[in-house]
Amino acid sequence: MSEVPLKSRRIAPWRKGVQWLATLIILGLPFIRPGGESLLRLDAGTRTLLFFGAKLRIEEFYLFLVVVLILVFAFLFVTMLFGRVWCGWLCPQTTLGDLADWIERRTKKLPTPLRAPLRQSCFLALSALVGANLVWYFIAPPEFFARLAAGQLGAVAGISLTVTALVVYLDLAFVRRRFCKSVCPYGRIQLMAMERGTLTLEFDPALKGVCLRCGACVRACPTGIDIREGLQIECINCGRCLDACRDVFAPRGRGGLIHYTFGPAGAEGSRPVNRKALLLGGVLLLLVGLLVFGVTTRQEATLKVQRSATGEVKRLPDGSLVNFYSAFVENRGAAARSYSLEAAALPGYRVELVGPVRGIALAANENKKIGFALKLNAAPPPGTQVQLRLVSEGKTVAASPLPVAVQ
């Protein structure tokens, strides 16, 4: 059996370090605000996804779809290579369960009348933090705390926080590992993504005769399985049984009988980077490239035009023709800008825009409706179009055709 080289030191400090790092990232991302905007947040009010410096509006849903596909393929890719490393090392459910276990251990020696209230208070505090953290990904923390202090958090945010906190509290108080064993769909989905070369935590059957049958591995397992019985769907690859076995065999000069392995030796085992992994990795890189291309080449502003609701057409005494329109201008940039609407020249005709088409000031991510009229002298034939341009700092940033009605 090919395996990751055994070491005498414990896995637990590494796992805890990864859990703390992941927790700090999840809690801290909403507070990292370069330029005054969160690194990652869905602003429901403006229907905009703030994504590491990029602002994706609802009209750019195709980019959001690419983000979702990246997450899906990354999930499959990581699972194919490393199995349930997410469950044991990164999953918030596992981290919360570990925190709950730690709280119970720390309060175990307290008097009974004090122990239960203190535990439940800690669970409630953790639950409130998780609920607030979820809301921070929709409402920026400074705004969240200001609204909370003023009692104006809002119905949707308030219900979301309360329901999330309640669910997490019930999980900490009554569920924990039972969710991983019987409810969580990830373990079932994992079976479809795993290969013979996927990283798993296994008991070496060749060393079965060396096992002391002390039960340390079973007692250490958070889901209560016996790793000696082979690969099981409840195993979350956390490595606790590995540490327990190493602790037992350390005085005997052995590294333990349990280890991480990339599958059995052979044509397909022990090869985590196989054709399927390369294919998934290639698709993942392609999607990341598409996202980068889409974000870097997206328009900094948009211009949409429609005829006025009345569809009115006027002919002036001098023979000029006047059409009325509404323009919808949006600033997708990260800073306020000023725009102007300009009509392209039409050979043989005098083209003029009438209305508030100059000095259109828009804040970052703001959109505005502009009513204006197009005046042509003389009247053009049916089917004529004039190009309307959105200009900022002497540069055309967007354009739209204006179909001209003659009657």
Domain with 324 in it = 301-403
Q: Report the pLDDT value the prediction gives residue 291, as an integer from 0 to 100.
A: 86
Same domain for 278 and 365, yes or no, is no
Assess if residue 7 is contained within a domain.
no
Same domain, 178 and 306: no
Nearest to 88 by CA among 11, 31, 3, 141: 11
Q: How many CB atoms lie within 10 A of CB 111?
A: 6
Residue 295 lies in a domain: no
Which domain-ending residue is among 254, 288, 322?
288
Could you tell me which residues are beta bridge partners of residue 321?
A: 315, 376
Assess if residue 296 is contained within a domain. no
Strands 313-315 and 350-354: unpaired
In a domain, 1, yes or no: no
The H-or-E segment that residue 187 falls in is helix 186-193
CATH number of the structural domain spanning residue 361: 2.60.40.10
Q: Please name the amino acid found at residue 405.
A: A
| Buried b / exposed e along 394-405 (16+ C-beta atoms within 10 A) | eeebbebebebe
The reply to whether 187 and 319 lie within a common domain is no
Q: Same domain, yes or no, for 280 and 391?
A: no
Nearest to 378 by CA among 324, 317, 325, 326: 317
Sheet with 385-392: strands ordered across = 360-362, 337-343, 385-392, 395-403
245 and 333 inside one domain: no
Cβ atoms of 227 and 241 closer than 8 Å:
yes
Looking at the structure, do residues 131 and 222 belong to the same domain, yes or no?
yes
Do 203 and 279 share a domain, yes or no?
Answer: yes
Domains: count for the chain = 2
Residue type, 12: A
pLDDT in the model for residue 42? 84
Fill in the DSSP letter of residue 323: E
Q: Are residues 60 and 183 in the same domain?
A: yes
User: Running DSSP on this structure, what letter comes out for residue 109?
Assistant: T
- Binned average pLDDT, 10 residues per bin, the chain of 407 residues: 51 93 94 83 77 71 84 87 86 93 93 92 97 94 94 93 96 91 78 77 85 94 91 87 93 87 60 77 92 81 87 86 92 84 91 93 86 90 91 91 87
* Whole-prediction pTM: 0.74
Q: Tell me, yes or no, whether 184 lies in a domain.
A: yes
For helices 61-82 and 275-297, angle between their N-to-C axes, nearest 10 degrees: 160
Whether residues 306 and 284 fall in one domain: no
Q: Helices H, strands E: what count in the chain?
A: 12, 14
CA atoms within 13 A on the CB side of 57: 17
In a domain, 294, yes or no: no
pLDDT at site 1: 41
Residue 387 lies in a domain: yes
pLDDT, position 272? 64
- Which phi and psi (to 5°) does residue 207 adopt? -105, 20
Residue 44 lies in a domain: yes
Among the candidates 242, 260, 288, a domain finishes at 288
b/e 330-365 (16+ beta carbons within 10 angstroms → b): bbbbbeebebbbbbeeeeebebebeeebeebebeeb
Length of the chain: 407
Question: Which residues are 57's β-sheet partners?
Answer: 48
- CA distances 67 to 29, 197, 275, 297, Å, are 17, 28, 24, 16
Nearest to 359 by CA among 325, 335, 327, 390: 390
Using the 3D structure, point to which of 267, 288, 309 is the last residue of a domain.
288
User: Quick one: 244 and 140 in the same domain?
Assistant: yes
CA distances from 307 to 52, 311, 370 (A): 37, 6, 12
Residues 371 and 240 in one domain: no
Mark whether 194 and 67 lie in a shared domain.
Answer: yes
